[in-house]
Amino acid sequence: MIDPANGSPEPQHAGSRTAHLAHHFHTPKQQFDAGKLGMWIFLMTEILLFGGLFCAYAVYRANHPEIFFYAEQFLDKWLGAINTGVLITSSLTMAWAVRCAQLSQTRGLVTCLALTLACACGFLGIKYVEYEHKWRDGLLWASKYAPHRVRDSGFSVQDSGFPQERGTQAAEPRTLNPEPSSQKNAGIFFSIYFMMTGLHAIHVLAGMGAITWILVLAAKGRFSSRYFGPVDYVGLYWHLVDMIWIFLFPLLYLIH
């Protein structure tokens, strides 16, 4: 930390310098680098965990594209796009928070972490709205897939090729009357949708927990340019959560 009186670095007190240094590490840099390496390996395991679901997506989309093209009409791409914007914003505030920690700007750090949490809440809120619509309309995973009525939300509906008017603003529910063959096994799309977005949402929740923990510590003044590892590591995790959504959005919402 810079001594404001004379602009030169304060003498390194043995206590404050080594306060955060674990006994088995020799230098703070070694400890920081080790922590970063560990977090990157963990992120790699998360990529492989989600990767299984991307594999399932690829398999079903390649072998049954008709199901995906059919089911896409039920997803609201505007809500998806807003959610994408919300998560990107949260990534900005998280990266900004790491920067604040590195510069010992505690107030900025706390503000940015709080904003990140707010964005995360917003994301989950919008997800809740989406899930609630699906539940109401019977658009659930394969064994519970039973679409009975779809309420036109007023947003434009993709041209599904079915005999319905496009972009109607009517509030009255309309019943789907699709071709039986293209409706067959459409529930599989929703199995994949719920599994991917659900697991992602669980990771958002876990991230919120981690950010809250860091926020509490930050408010207590625990982080500074000498010690900001945990903020950085939680930030990396959060960016991965954002990155996964960056792929989920076009794959689930922007199918053509």
Considering the rule CB under 8 A, would residue 142 count as an interface residue with another protein?
yes
Considering only residues 186 through 215, tell me which ones interact with another protein, judged by CB under 8 A.
187-188, 191-192, 194-195, 199
Examine residue 242 and tell whether it contacts another protein (CB under 8 A): yes
Q: How far is the CB of 109 from another protein (least distance, A)?
A: 9
Within a 13 Å sphere around the CA of 182, how many CA atoms are in the beta-carbon half? Answer: 15
Q: Which of 129, 146, 205, 254 binds another protein (CB under 8 A)?
A: 254
Which of 128, 118, 124 is CA-nearest to residue 92? 118
Binding residues for another protein restricted to 151-180, rule: CB under 8 A: none
Question: Of the listed pieces 125-133, 165-173, 213-221, 224-232, which binds another protein according to CB under 8 A?
Answer: 224-232
**Nearest approach, Cβ of residue 171 and another protein (Å):** 25
Applying CB under 8 A, the site for another protein has a residue count of 88
Q: How many CB atoms lie within 10 A of CB 93?
A: 19
138 contacts another protein (rule: CB under 8 A) = no
C-alpha 50/C-alpha 28 separation (Å) is 33
Strand-pairing partners, residue 231, are: none
The H or E element that residue 196 is part of is helix 187-219
> Among residues 119, 117, 129, which one has the least CA distance to residue 86?
119
The two structure tokens encoding residue 68: 């995906």
Among 3, 10, 33, 179, binds another protein (CB under 8 A): 33
